[in-house]
Chain A
Amino acid sequence: MKTVLKGNSAVAHGVRLARAQVIAAYPITPQTSIIEDLAAFVAQGQLNATFVKVESEHSALAACIGAASAGARVFTATSAQGLALMHELIHWAAGARLPLVLADVNRAMAPGWSIWTDQNDTLSQRDTGWMQVYCSSSQEVLDSVVQAYRVSERVLLPTMIVLDAFFLSHTHEVVDIPEQELVDRFLPPLELPLKLDLQRPGAFGNLVFPDRYMEFRYKMELAHREAVEVWRETDREWGRLTGRSYGLVEAYRMEDADTVLLTAGTAASTARVAVDQLRQEGLAAGVVRLRVFRPFPAAELGHLLAGRRRVVVVDRNCSYGHHGIFHQEVKSALYSLPERRRPQVLGVIAGLGGRDITVAELAQILLKAHRGELEPVTWWNVLQPQEELATAVASQ
């Protein structure tokens, strides 16, 4: 059924269709309407779930961990400070190999307070063992939630579904809501191989000495490696059922592109328009959108980017003291290519704290890269400290 949904509602519909059994969540802007929609689904009997209205995000994830350990399909959602508060349990959920799904609406970290988008909240959770999927449309958000449960339950790793604050969370788009019967065929009820079970009374999470801890983490790494192929299969299967698939990375006008803009989230949609414009002016530009960030799609990126002249990575995030996080990751992935096939990889940090990234700006970035005028790392359209202070004082 086609309807118009904002990104947050698309998350809630995905969770409803996946028949989540336990939801535990705490409100935070701009995530809140996800859990409001879910509370309404539960209240109206459209979703047979227990909703634990906890007193913090930390407790939200703790309740999810408890429920998942007892074999339930669970869901939570958060943003920024909430995700940071969960951090201890983000590690815990992955280490416990629980197939949770969490939606994070990307929001910039305080201080100063910002409710607007950037990716530092989720990228700070990069090394926890979670899978991460960065979405760029409401449809993709819904589809990815359903896909995530299937992949997570196969490889026993949790998944974070990531969507930009406001640009996606609160933007209304046409979404085709699949039939429940179709989703049920795609996603059978959860049967965990191990759970809290009175018939087999095991202990979960006991002390592990150095002779075994590393083996547990190695199994987590192996699960991530397996997950790359499981994401491919799952996405293909979803495509077969619905006509919609996304890949781990999405390529746009890449056939003959020599200058490539690589980014994640809604900026990728903007980049497609910029590339269309530049193509009319005769510039061979293309877009690669990083969708599944963990497990890292190194094979896909190598295949798409080898032999191109240059790749500009636009990061809505920064690892302070180094540079954009996707920039680092892409550079390191391409470094193992033979030198003559290795593109130049440039980084642009843009759009932090919800600042708009426009078509004109992305076109300008690509044009500068094409002319060889782009620095290796650029903070795009940012005031210098003296200018910033002077204009702030002047406005008082």
Chain B
Amino acid sequence: MSVELAPYDPKNLHLPEEDLLRSGHLACPGCGAALGMRLALKALGPKTIVVIPACCWAVINGPYPFHALGVPVLQVAFETAAVSAAGIRAALAVQGRDDVAVLAWAGDGGTFDIGFQALSGAVERNDDIIYVCYDNEAYMNTGIQRSSATPFGAWTTTTPEPNVKPEPKKNIVEILAEHRIPYAATASIAFPEDFVRKLQKARSIKGTKFIHLWISCPAGHKSEERLTVHIARLAVETGVFPLYEVEFGTHYTLNYEPSFLDVQEYLQLQGRFRHLNEEDVNFVRQSIAWEWQRLRAKIAMGAGLPAPPAPPRRLTPATF
């Protein structure tokens, strides 16, 4: 391990006791997606229906007749997580049930790429769902192919050396913020209380809520299994992945001021970045600095804006 982070005092860890992720699931050793789901269900509790499109979790939950979660799960087609969840919400609405959280739980491919149309539609309709994108920054379930969430410079099997990915990662939260989504946030498996708080906040808001959860993937990032949480923490501490939330698309809150460790500390632990030279890494450094300027400008802009006007009661889009 290259850099010593301040040790975490478990006495400070305040999380719900109940675990709805059971043993026997099929996640790889060191999987950030398994940890993410465990935290998500701690936050949301047993009155939750989980919708899973094609993604690692379609396998992790276990083959028929097994089931690793203590809540109902509906597996759905790759590009339909958001709208399938909206369909469940519509059924619950006519059944008069408003005490159930509907959680769409999708990977970056199912969110940034193939599922984006259905997600955009659900956000525009303000369907009452919580959507978590657990982002391991490539199509990991099919064996590490680039997605539009893959960062600049990353190796994948479809961006092999020397043609590593030249484009930056798509900024999904900002795109959804521009939909005027009631609540969008980033989160990290290395900041569990923050993630749990955001989910609980999401549950209290009517309409579409989106959480972009950064996770490590030892198999796809070519990193050590024991470093899953450490690397997730470094993603935040180096400024690669800022932790913030956005209300009604305009009001940004920064949740954590990172120490801005040099990004090399993050990159060097992952084989997917091993080919990057000093010029490449400098570009990454500059990009981080530029993105943070942009984020702080958005925070300042939102702070200067009043809350958006409330629509007439008669036409309040109170989900359907």
A contact residues vs B (CB 8 Å cutoff) = 21-22, 24, 48-56, 58-59, 62-72, 74, 88-89, 92, 196-198, 200-209, 212
Contacts and interface: CB of A to CB of B under 8 A. Distances in A.
Interface in B59-88: 59, 61-64, 66-67, 69-77, 79-80, 83-88
Contacts, number: 158
A66 B93 CA distance: 13
Contact of A62 (B63, B80, B92): B80
Contacts of A24: 83, 87, 90
Contacts of A203: 61-62, 66-67, 69, 72-75
A51 B117 CA distance: 19
Contacts of B67: 201-203, 206
Nearest to A70: B91
Q: Which of A49, A58, A67 is packed against the most chain B CB atoms within 10 Å?
A: A67
Contact of A204 (B63, B70, B74, B85): B74
B217 interface: no
A196 B83 contact: no
A392 to B, nearest CB: 37
The 9 closest A-B pairs by CB, nearest first: A66-B87, A205-B75, A55-B121, A63-B87, A72-B91, A70-B91, A62-B80, A66-B84, A203-B67
B277 interface: no
27 contacts: A22-B87, A50-B320, A54-B83, A54-B121, A55-B120, A55-B121, A56-B117, A58-B80, A63-B86, A65-B87, A66-B74, A66-B86, A67-B88, A69-B74, A69-B88, A70-B91, A88-B77, A92-B77, A196-B49, A198-B46, A200-B72, A201-B69, A203-B75, A206-B75, A207-B59, A207-B62, A209-B63
Given A56-B117, A59-B83, A206-B63, A198 B72 contact: yes
B33 interface: no
A59 to B, nearest CB: 4
Contact of B71 (A64, A201, A206): A201
B259 interface: no
Contact of A72 (B80, B85, B94, B127): B94
B74 A196 contact: yes
Contact of B64 (A68, A69, A201, A206): A206
B124 interface: yes
A79 B74 CA distance: 27
Given A54-B83, A201-B72, 18 more contacts: A52-B87, A52-B90, A56-B117, A59-B80, A59-B117, A62-B118, A66-B91, A67-B90, A67-B91, A89-B80, A92-B77, A196-B74, A198-B47, A202-B67, A204-B72, A204-B74, A206-B61, A206-B64
